[in-house]
Amino acid sequence: MSTKASNTVIRAAGLTKIYREGAADLRALSDVDLEIRSGELTLLMGPSGSGKTTLLSILGCILRASSGTLELLGEAVEKLPERELPRIRREAIGFVFQGFNLFPTLTTVENVALALDVRGMRRTEAEARAAELILEVGLAEKRKSYPADLSGGQKQRVAIARALAGDPPIVLADEPTAALDSTSGKNVIELLRRLAHEHGRAVVMVTHDPRVLSYGDRIIHLEDGRIVREETRQEEAVFAEAAVAS
Amino acid sequence: MGLLARRNLFHDKVRFAVTLTGIVFALVLIIIQFGLFLGFTTTTSNNIDHSKADLWIVFHGVGYFDTGRTFSERKFYQVLATPGVAQAEKYMQAFARWKRPDGRVENIQIIGVRPGSELGQPWNVTSGSVAALKEEDAVLADELYKEKLGVQNIGDRVEIGGHRARVVGFTRGIRSFTTSPFVYASFKNSLDYTNPTSNETDVGYILVKAAPGISAETLKENLKKRLADVDIYTTPEFSQKTRFYWMFTTGAGLAVLTAALMGLIVGVAVVAQTIYAATMDHIREYGTLKAMGATNSYLYRVLIEQAVWSAVLGYAVAMIVAHFVVTASEKGGALILMPLEMKIGMLGLAILMCVTAALVSINKVTRIDPAMVFRG
């Protein structure tokens, strides 16, 4: 469990997302109420098309909800103009992507420093801070390597270091272990859990991976754009064991 | 930002080489066309610009240098008698037929001057002297046209308009826009070469030097009150009229300017295509930057920096290539000029061209949906 006090950093109410596809409307999210707290690793689970990634995109201020309210660190996002959303993303959120999304022409340190450059930090300062983060994720010896020279697990750790560059209170991860072998996946999920438990960040992770169930503090199940079940870590571990046994 | 711009630009060396080639090709084309334009304009008026005269008096209606028409010598004396005139010289320009030692005939433009005067003299004399034009049958030709005129050395003999002529010297780099080489002679000889039956009292132009303290404009007004049936131009005015005639009335200048414009359009198209292709290669990275909170202006700066780097490097290579082309042109019939102002201007044009080309990519990047980073 978390070692720091839990505060609600994201509060969503009645979130609905409707995509217009020709004459038809596609309802990706329906009336989702949700609270995300600091110090917790929250897993978003559900079958393909259940709305997990749409929900993550809305929580990350990348996508706007069709209706409903979203409060992020006390700021009502739905009332903000479009031009304010990049600021929210820079200040509050770090993203970890399934495909890593590293910049192939930059070294690991430069990849991380780029996230600080986006925030306006000077290059030397940014690279010094990036080197510290690379050290924290255990890749000090790879600081001058290019993404092409890294394994999948190493790439994802660089991506996590990049997500942490702006010291965001919220980390949103989209299937971060999907492309990794079991050892690398375990390392990555443990790293994400440490970010929540030891650093007090709110970590939200979309996953299909049953191997990670036991790491989540909360598991939110989505189906057809709705939250159908929410469980605490202990309940879900029992569920997972039963699932594996069957 | 700067690092990403440079790394993305130089990462794919083949693509960068293609981009650079496009820029260099476009810039060299533009430089050559503009250089030709400048060379042509300079060539059309070089005798006027080197005349050291303040005013040119021409027969009424003569709009440019190469169509001189004679008028009475009496006007020359009227000019000399006008207050404010420090010096005046008779000057002649006319087409004539040059018969080479081997019998072949070429058209030339005879320029008749008073040898030893300050006004209207040939320049860049590399062998012989202007003073030698005082000698009987003496002419000066330009080195560029030795082959065309069939002469190689001082003392070579030819015929001009059926009269004997002897080469007494050579100039260097006095080109003729009409393709008929300029040949300098004394005023008296020039009349013989061009019109043996002419009255020697006719003149083609009168070149005037104003006395110290008198402006060319003031003297021009004074002369206008005294002289009828002539037009009086300051040297810059006559130069400008001659340039304008050849460059725009004949369409010669429009042709080279159109070619330069085509070079610019082709350059923008080539660079736009390559920058756009490079942007599309990195489109997911731009989406990631947006998801990370990068503003549109941050992304624009990345693309514009790439465009500026492309422009500066393309410009550097283009200048090297252009230098060789310009140097080679000095020995040819068509002069290509590349003054400092043009070199500086080309850098600005290169940057403008590449930034304009980047606008297509900027438009694309502006429309990126950052949610793309979650897809696949």
The widest CA-to-CA distance across chain A, in whole angstroms, is: 55
CB–CB contact B291 A89 (8 Å)? yes
Query: CA of A238, closest CA in chain B: separation in Å?
Result: 30
SS3 A50: coil
| Selected residue with higher pLDDT from A2 and B226 | B226
DSSP B260-292: HHHHHHHHHHHHHHHHHHHHHHTHHHHHHHHHT
- Residue B93 domain flag: yes
Alpha helices in chain B (DSSP H): 2-11, 13-44, 46-49, 74-80, 146-149, 187-194, 216-226, 235-244, 252-281, 283-291, 296-329, 340-366
Dihedral sign computed on CA atoms, order B39, B45, B50, B52: negative
Residue A177 to residues A38, A156, B289: CA-CA distances in angstroms?
Answer: 22, 8, 22
Q: Do residues B201 and B271 share a domain?
A: no
Most confident of A2-6, A30-34, B275-279, B325-329: A30-34
For residue A59, pLDDT beyond 50? yes
Considering CB atoms only, which of A60, A93, A117 is closest to B1? A117
Mean pLDDT of chain A: 89
- Among B3, B285, B300, B372, the strongest candidate for a mutation testing the A interface, having the largest count of A CBs within 10 A, is B3
Considering CB atoms only, which of B11, B284, B292 is closest to A89? B292
- Tell me the average pLDDT across B253-280: 82
Query: CA of A173, closest CA in chain B: separation in Å?
Result: 10
Q: Do residues B218 and B274 share a domain?
A: no
| Residue B274, C-beta contacts closer than 8 angstroms, at least 6 positions apart | B15, B18, B19, B22
Query: Would you call A215 an interface residue with chain B, using a CB distance cutoff of 8 Å?
Result: no
Q: Do residues B142 and B85 share a domain?
A: yes
pLDDT at B87: 95
pLDDT at B196: 59
The widest CA-to-CA distance across chain B, in whole angstroms, is: 94
Domain endpoint, select from B213, B228, B243: B228
Q: Do residues B302 and B356 share a domain?
A: yes
Residue B232 to residues A35, A88, B14, B37, B64: CA-CA distances in angstroms?
Answer: 91, 74, 61, 27, 12
- Residue B98 domain flag: yes
| Selected residue with higher pLDDT from A239 and B86 | B86
Query: Would you call A174 an interface residue with chain B, using a CB distance cutoff of 8 Å?
Result: yes
Query: Would you call A115 an interface residue with chain B, using a CB distance cutoff of 8 Å?
Result: yes
> Which residues in chain B have Cβ-Cβ distances shorter than 8 Å to A117?
1, 3-4
pLDDT at B70: 80
Instruction: Give ipTM to 2 decimals.
Output: 0.87
Mean pLDDT of chain B: 89
pLDDT at A85: 92
The bridge status of strand B55-59 relative to strand B205-210 is antiparallel
Q: Do residues B39 and B72 share a domain?
A: no
CB–CB contact A114 B298 (8 Å)? no
**Helical (H) or strand (E) element with B50:** none
- Residue B366 domain flag: yes
Please report which confidence band the pLDDT of residue A3 belongs to, taking 50, 70 and 90 as the band edges. Answer: very low
Residues A138-194: pLDDT tens digits? 899 999 999 999 999 999 999 999 999 988 999 999 988 888 888 888 888 999 999
- Residue B243 domain flag: no
Among candidate residues A41, A40, A43, A15, the one with its CA nearest the CA of residue A29: A15
pLDDT at B318: 95
> Which residues in chain B have Cβ-Cβ distances shorter than 8 Å to A97?
288, 373-374
pLDDT at B62: 86
| Selected residue with higher pLDDT from A240 and B267 | B267
List chain A domain ranges. 8-103+150-245
For residue B376, pLDDT beyond 80? no
For residue B158, pLDDT beyond 90? yes
**Residues of B at the A interface, defined by Cβ within 8 angstroms:** 1, 3-4, 7-8, 11, 284-285, 288-295, 298, 370-371, 373-374, 376
Please report which confidence band the pLDDT of residue A211 belongs to, taking 50, 70 and 90 as the band edges. Answer: confident
CB pairs < 8 Å spanning A and B: 67
A8-103+150-245: CATH superfamily: P-loop containing nucleotide triphosphate hydrolases (3.40.50.300)
Domain endpoint, select from B179, B213, B228: B228
- Among B292, B309, B367, the strongest candidate for a mutation testing the A interface, having the largest count of A CBs within 10 A, is B292
Cβ proximity of A32 and A12 under 8 Å: yes
Give the residue carrying structure tokens 């009987």.
Answer: B136
- Residue B238 domain flag: no
> Which residues in chain B have Cβ-Cβ distances shorter than 8 Å to A174?
374
- Residue B117's φ and ψ, nearest 5 degrees, are -75, 165
- Residue B325 domain flag: yes
pLDDT at A182: 85
Residue of B nearest to A176 (CA): B374
CB–CB contact B373 A97 (8 Å)? yes
CB–CB contact A86 B288 (8 Å)? no
Among candidate residues B319, B285, B312, B281, the one with its CA nearest the CA of residue B299: B285
- Residue B235 domain flag: no
Residue of A nearest to B8 (CA): A105
- Among A58, A117, A171, A172, the strongest candidate for a mutation testing the B interface, having the largest count of B CBs within 10 A, is A117
Q: Do residues B157 and B100 share a domain?
A: yes
User: Which A residues, 82 through 111, put their C-beta within 8 Å of a C-beta on chain B?
Assistant: 86-91, 93, 95, 97-99, 101, 103-106, 110
pLDDT at A1: 42
For residue A5, pLDDT beyond 60? no
For residue B199, pLDDT beyond 70? no
| Selected residue with higher pLDDT from B271 and B185 | B185
CB–CB contact B11 A104 (8 Å)? yes
- Tell me the average pLDDT across B44-49: 93
Query: CA of A126, closest CA in chain B: separation in Å?
Result: 12
Domain endpoint, select from B197, B228, B259: B228
Residues B15-40: pLDDT tens digits? 888 888 888 988 898 888 889 888 88
- Residue B236 domain flag: no
Q: Do residues B165 and B205 share a domain?
A: yes
pLDDT at B282: 85
For residue A239, pLDDT beyond 70? no
Q: Please state, in angstroms and rounded to a whole number, the distance separating the CA atoms of residues B193 and B173.
A: 23
Q: Do residues B204 and B75 share a domain?
A: yes
Q: Do residues B178 and B268 share a domain?
A: no
Tally of domains within chain B: 2
Give the residue carrying structure tokens 């909800």.
Answer: A65
Q: Do residues B179 and B293 share a domain?
A: no
Considering CB atoms only, which of B292, B298, B374 is closest to A57? B374
For residue A86, pLDDT beyond 60? yes
pLDDT at A246: 47
- Tell me the average pLDDT across A224-233: 89
Cβ proximity of A185 and A211 under 8 Å: yes
pLDDT at B340: 94
Domain housing B106: 61-228
| Selected residue with higher pLDDT from A1 and A55 | A55
